């Protein structure tokens, strides 16, 4: 009745102003309108915080449609999450890391991960929410599992090639590496709010972002590269 955001409407509804009757009648459009609005709201406020009414309003559809197409708020969240994961996995595949030299491929992956998080802030917020809910929704999706398997294989292959080329050291677990690559970008971004207070700096400043990316690339390259063991190296049992 009140408080609705006045300038929402945005997006692709250049049809009839005043919300009018000739609704889309195109179920595909309706569904994707809902998904876009839901992604934005779930990212902003989490599963519990997002409001079905607000999502319907932002999507310019009747609230009932959400239930028609998705069954429940929770199933809608699940769908949003699945799409978000499929998107990043698909983008990773497009990197075609197999066609790059190992070191370049690895740096490309670190850069891509960082850039993707930066450009798709909803993604990390959705993942955060999902982990607060102990991945209860992701569990259902087999498509995600398959896509992830392909992704791990890609990194494993990259590492193997690097070892064969003599530039990477042996024995690195591709899953641990993946986790670390994600962690050093993801944590910086999700925890930038508390970080700003704790470390008294602006995490989103252009220079700060550049500096962090360089630091992360450095961290990962040093982690994998094969090199003369210096005296007192922790790898050295002596």
Footprint on residues 188-227 left by a second copy (CB under 8 A): 188, 190-201, 211-212, 215-219, 221-223, 225-227
Which residues 71-110 are close enough to bind a second copy by CB under 8 A? 71-74, 103, 107
Query: Alpha carbon of 231 to those of 182, 199, 219, 221, 223: distances in Å?
Result: 31, 34, 20, 20, 17
In the bound complex, what is the minimum distance in angstroms from residue 131's beta carbon to DNA?
A: 20
Which residues 144-173 are close enough to bind a second copy by CB under 8 A? 144-145, 148-149, 152, 167, 173
CA distance 116 to 182: 11
- DSSP assignment of 68-99 equals HHHSSHHHHHHHHHHHHHHHHHHHHHTT-GGG
Interface with a second copy, residue 5, by CB under 8 A: yes
- Using CB distances below 5 to 8 A depending on partner kind, what does residue 121 bind out of a second copy, DNA, none? none
Query: Alpha carbon of 41 to those of 49, 95, 165, 185: distances in Å?
Result: 8, 29, 47, 23
Which listed range, 6-14, 17-25, 55-63, 92-100, lies at the site for a second copy (CB under 8 A)?
A: 6-14
Interface with DNA, residue 140, by CB under 7 A: no
Residues binding DNA: what is the number (CB under 7 A)? 34
Per DSSP (E only), the strands in the chain are none
Which residues 13-52 are close enough to bind DNA by CB under 7 A? 13, 16, 21, 23-27, 29-30, 50-52
Interface with DNA, residue 7, by CB under 7 A: yes
The SS3 assignment for 225 reads strand
Which residues 49-78 are close enough to bind DNA by CB under 7 A? 50-53, 61-65, 67-68, 72-74
DSSP assignment letter at 78: H
Residue 225, strand partner residues: 168
- Record the tokens describing residue 5, joined without a space: 């955001």
Find how far residue 143's CA is from the centre of its chain.
16
Q: What is the CA radius of gyration of the chain?
A: 22
- Using CB distances below 5 to 8 A depending on partner kind, what does residue 63 bind out of DNA, a second copy, none? DNA
Asked whether 203 and 188 are in contact (CB, 8 A), the reply is yes
Q: Which is nearer to a second copy, 24 or 180 (CB)?
A: 180
In the bound complex, what is the minimum distance in angstroms from residue 180's beta carbon to a second copy?
A: 6
Binding site for DNA (CB under 7 A): 1-10, 13, 16, 21, 23-27, 29-30, 50-53, 61-65, 67-68, 72-74
């Amino acid at each position: 009745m009140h408080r609705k955001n006045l300038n929402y409407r945005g997006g692709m509804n250049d049809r009839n102003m005043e919300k009018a009757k000739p609704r889309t009648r195109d179920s595909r459009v309706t569904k994707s309108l809902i998904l876009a609005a839901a992604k934005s709201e779930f990212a902003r406020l989490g599963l519990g915080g997002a409001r079905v009414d607000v999502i319907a309003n932002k999507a310019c559809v009747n609230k009932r449609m959400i239930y028609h197409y998705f069954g429940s708020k929770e199933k809608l969240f699940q769908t949003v999450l699945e799409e978000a994961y499929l998107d990043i996995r698909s983008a990773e595949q497009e990197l075609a890391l197999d066609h790059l030299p190992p070191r370049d491929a690895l740096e490309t992956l670190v850069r891509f991960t960082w850039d993707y998080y930066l450009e798709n802030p909803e993604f990390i917020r959705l993942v955060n929410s999902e982990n607060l809910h102990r991945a209860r929704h992701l569990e259902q999706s087999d498509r995600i599992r398959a896509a992830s398997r392909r992704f791990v294989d890609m990194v494993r292959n990259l590492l193997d090639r690097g070892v064969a080329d003599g530039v990477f050291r042996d024995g690195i677990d591709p899953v641990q590496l993946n986790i670390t690559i994600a962690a050093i970008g993801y944590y910086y971004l999700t925890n930038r709010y508390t970080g700003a207070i704790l470390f008294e700096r602006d995490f989103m400043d252009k220079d700060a972002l550049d500096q962090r990316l360089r630091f992360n690339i450095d961290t990962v390259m040093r982690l994998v590269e094969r090199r003369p063991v210096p005296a007192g190296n922790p790898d050295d049992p002596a």
